[in-house]
Amino acid sequence: MNELPRTQTASPTANADIAVPLERGISRRQALLAAAMVGPALFETSEPDFAAEADRLTDLAQLTFWDRGAGMYRAPVAGAETVPSDPLHDRGYVLWPSIEMLHALVEGEMARPGRYRRAIAEVYDGLEKYRNSDARAYNAWLDFPGNVDRYYDDNAIVARVLVKAHRVTRERRYLDRARDVLDGFVRRGWDPGGKPGGMQWGVDPSKQGTGDRAACSTSMAALAALELALDGCDVRRGVAWAGALMDWLVERLLDSDKLVNDALEPPDWRVRRVKWTYNTGMAIHAHVLLWRLTHSRSRLDTARAMGDAAMDRKGRMYDGLVKDPEKNHWFDTSFFVPYLADGLVELSRATRDSRYAAEVRRNARYAFERLRDPADGLYFRNWRLWRIDRARHEAWRTLTGGTHPLEPDWDERSKAPAALKLPEASRPVAKTLLANAGMARLFRIAARARAA
């Protein structure tokens, strides 16, 4: 890896069943190199083996970022989503990337029964240090007296992922916690009055934007309730609430181009007309699940309209600097794109229209070929190559004929003190848990897309 060396010496892996068993005397460096190099032959096939890449990357990300001694995910170098702290927790990741990696492990367990069960349990136990039992919720960072930095979308993700964890492991504690988080905390973020309505983003008034009525919290709450309903829990109440959430989103945040705007902003509740891939993807997914549970044709029609808009290569989901549609791909980040891919695969299954799954595979192939760093086997964050580094910028120019200059992404770079003294474009790239958890999920979804 090209980052600064890790300073702590805790055992690096939570899972004895992953592809690189350190317990047999292999050093950490040997294990990382082996995991990074597994699979170069995949590039020789006409289409990548997405399932194999999902396995390799899930293993490598868990090996790279999980610190068993601290019981949390920690970065080898300070970077995006990490927090400076005491020696044991320094460079630890906040809740969001941690739960996204748990999501990758759960989806890995669905595809490879028994492979990630131990890691799921260990990560779940580690996340207890983020939980506030009185609030019945998880904080964005470790729990301590006075910490009220909690978000409804984060906790809805927790609930959804734990329902899925119960589905694949049958461990009751996951389901019980999912229901407790959803009923005890997430539902409190819903404004049923309609003025403006929607789901609030967070609870800490000192944090910017927490009063927003956000698409992410609205759709993720709906997905959590629907996952529970699919498992036979609170079916009528969950479906009714998810329907109300999606009705509000369509009325207040769905734009005329059938893509989802980001939020309503207080105090006058203006629409923030930013369009991220995950907001539209989650809304598609939620409408498909509502159709499955209610057989409402209008739900499927709405999902299809959003899906068609999300595949318009001249639309807002794609890089506006690329003029050739055949060379254009989703513009967003490695952790948002999987939600759009997931929604489109579910839409493809529901409609039996293979176009949606094919576009997922096309974009996953782009990521596989362009966003993987051969130096360490990990993936970059930004899907716009002109936002990463000079090498990727030159590759983008060659691929697209574009002339836009390099615009280094701050979040793609090391936040170590020595790095911060350098010009931004010269700072070393720091691979992140959030990006690689997202990419592991994307390849798992792309593998399912073949059957859609």
C-alpha to C-alpha distances, 303 to 93, 174, 280, 309, 419, nearest whole angstrom: 34, 30, 9, 10, 45
Pairing of strands 263-265, 270-272: antiparallel
54: its two tokens? 């999902």
CA 270, distance to chain mean position in Å, is 27
Q: How confident is the model at residue 367 (pLDDT cuts 50, 70, 90)?
A: very high
Pairing of strands 131-132, 137-138: antiparallel
Is the domain spanning 22-449 CATH 3.40.1010.10? The answer is: no
What is the percent of the chain where pLDDT is above 90? 88
For range 333-338, the mean pLDDT = 98
CA 141, distance to chain mean position in Å, is 17
For range 84-99, the mean pLDDT = 98
pTM: 0.92
For range 55-77, the mean pLDDT = 98
For range 423-434, the mean pLDDT = 94
Q: What is the pLDDT of residues 22-50, one digit of tens each?
A: 444 445 555 565 566 655 444 445 799 99
CA dihedral 148, 149, 152, 158 (to 10 degrees): -100
pLDDT number for residue 450: 84
CA 109, distance to chain mean position in Å, is 17
pLDDT(9) > 90: no
pLDDT(5) > 80: no
pLDDT(396) > 50: yes
C-alpha to C-alpha distances, 345 to 82, 278, 337, nearest whole angstrom: 32, 14, 12
pLDDT number for residue 28: 55
Q: What is the pLDDT of residues 180-217, one digit of tens each?
A: 999 999 999 999 998 999 999 999 999 999 999 999 99
pLDDT(16) > 90: no
b vs e for 54-78, b when ≥16 Cβ sit within 10 Å of the residue's Cβ? bbbbbbbbbbbbbbeebbbbbbbbb
**3-state DSSP call for residue 450?**
coil
On whether the CB atoms of residues 288 and 346 are closer than 8 A, the answer is: yes
By CB atoms closer than 10 A (0-12, 13-18, 19+), residue 312 is: middle
Strand partners, 196: none
pLDDT(243) > 60: yes
On whether the CB atoms of residues 196 and 252 are closer than 8 A, the answer is: yes
- Phi, psi (deg, nearest 5) at residue 64: -75, -40
C-alpha to C-alpha distances, 236 to 90, 113, 189, 241, 405, nearest whole angstrom: 44, 31, 20, 9, 53
d(CA 267, CA 414): 36
For range 294-310, the mean pLDDT = 98
pLDDT(421) > 60: yes
C-alpha to C-alpha distances, 219 to 44, 152, 286, 331, nearest whole angstrom: 39, 11, 7, 21
pLDDT number for residue 46: 79
d(CA 11, CA 235): 42
For range 314-337, the mean pLDDT = 97
pLDDT number for residue 33: 59
64 or 36, which is more confident?
64
Taking phi first (over 0 means left), then psi (-120 to 50 degrees means alpha), and beta for anything else, what does residue 170 get?
Answer: left
On whether the CB atoms of residues 71 and 125 are closer than 8 A, the answer is: yes
What is the percent of the chain where pLDDT is above 70? 90
pLDDT number for residue 425: 86
CA 334, distance to chain mean position in Å, is 8
Q: What is the pLDDT of residues 105-135, one digit of tens each?
A: 999 999 999 999 999 999 999 999 999 999 9
For range 364-385, the mean pLDDT = 98
Strand partners, 92: 74, 83
Strand partners, 67: 72
pLDDT number for residue 30: 54
Helix or strand run (H / E) with residue 177: helix 172-184
pLDDT(14) > 50: no
Going 417 to 423 to 439 to 377, the CA torsion angle's sign is: negative
Helix or strand run (H / E) with residue 181: helix 172-184
CA dihedral 134, 140, 144, 146 (to 10 degrees): -70
CA proximity to 152, closest of 263, 26, 261, 16: 263
Amino acid at 334: S
Amino acid at 401: G
pLDDT number for residue 296: 98
Pairing of strands 82-83, 72-73: unpaired
Average pLDDT over all residues of the chain: 92
Amino acid at 61: A
pLDDT number for residue 17: 40
